[in-house]
Amino acid sequence: MNTVNTGRFMAIFVLLLQACSFGFDNGEDARLGRYGRVRFVGGGGCTDSTTLALGSTATLTAEPAQGQILPTDLTPRSSAPESIGASHGPKPYEILLSAVREGAADIELVSSEVGVYDVLGFDVAPAASVSYQAPAEVYAGGGLLLKIDEVFGECGEDCKLIGGGFVQWSAEPAGSLTLDLHEDRVAIMAAGAAGEARVLGREPTTGTVLIDHAVTVVPTEGAGELETRVTIMRPDETVLDPQPMPSEVSVGCLLLIEVEVADAGGRSVKLAGQDVGWTVEGDAGVIAPWPENEPPAPEGPIYEATGAGTVTLVGEAALLGRSRRFEVTIVD
């Protein structure tokens, strides 16, 4: 896949996994620039909001709205950087916004050829609540993966906010879980000794508790076999429900691999992606990490079926002293 198609494919895969719906209220596209040349895409969640959560950062991508080729030197500029900062991202046409304080700003895309190529207004408000996903159990020494789906302002579901990375994380009792990673709307907490704990996520300026999540840290003794939940995206962009590791998939499919393990009490404990190492044995050129040269997803690796043949995927959870082999055949 080329870079443009890969980025679009990845975005669709992630959005469909989040069960996003598409469409614009009243037929209006809130992310279309005033001059109708650019659509400002992304920012987190399933929303076309132009309001950032206070203290957050949001990664947007400028996409042509009329099928034209965008100027290569488009540079983002904020009319009020004291409220919203704007800068280039590491990828082409990527815009990084930072919500510094409550207020508003026009985010301009400036070209040396035409001056202001397009512009869209954004504002900033503090988060009042969130919706999120997190397991109720984690193995001692493992990672607890928390994913924020949506961020809401004071009026709740009627005012969704974009942006992430602003939540202040802690745990009770102290040391039961410690923050290991926090990027955008994903956090991974490293679990300590077995016992009961709570994860707390607060809004940084008001101190409002946005997340209060109870967790049982379970001992690693008696852990069962690695069981997979594989989400498959077909080349036609349809996504199949999570299933055990398939014995056969078609060329062009994407596979997101997540792992669960039964503990001694029979509970199914979900492992964070970082807790399982994966290797591929067998025919070369049959399956490859996807996207190329990108870090794996926090849930687990994504593989692309690139050619016909048979491979063995080997998952190893060193934390539990468990490994498992899965043979998969890729067919045309």
Residue type, 231: T
The DSSP string of 109-120 is EEETTTEEEEEE
Residue with tokens 């990664």: 59
Residues of the chain with pLDDT under 50: 1-12, 15-16, 19, 21-26
pLDDT of residue 26: 45
pLDDT for the residue 6 = 41
Length, in residues, of the chain: 332
- Quick check: 52 and 71 in contact, CB under 8 A? no
CATH of 129-218, one of 3.30.530.20, 2.170.150.20, 2.60.40.10, 3.90.1150.10: 2.60.40.10
User: What burial class does residue 309 get, using C-beta atoms within 10 Å of its C-beta: 0-12 exposed, 13-18 middle, 19+ buried?
Assistant: middle
CATH number of this structure's domain 226-331: 2.60.40
| Domain covering 3-125, topology | Immunoglobulin-like (2.60.40)
pLDDT, position 17: 53
> pTM, whole model, 2 decimals?
0.89
Would residue 252 be called left, alpha or beta, if left means φ above 0 and alpha means ψ between -120 and 50 degrees? left
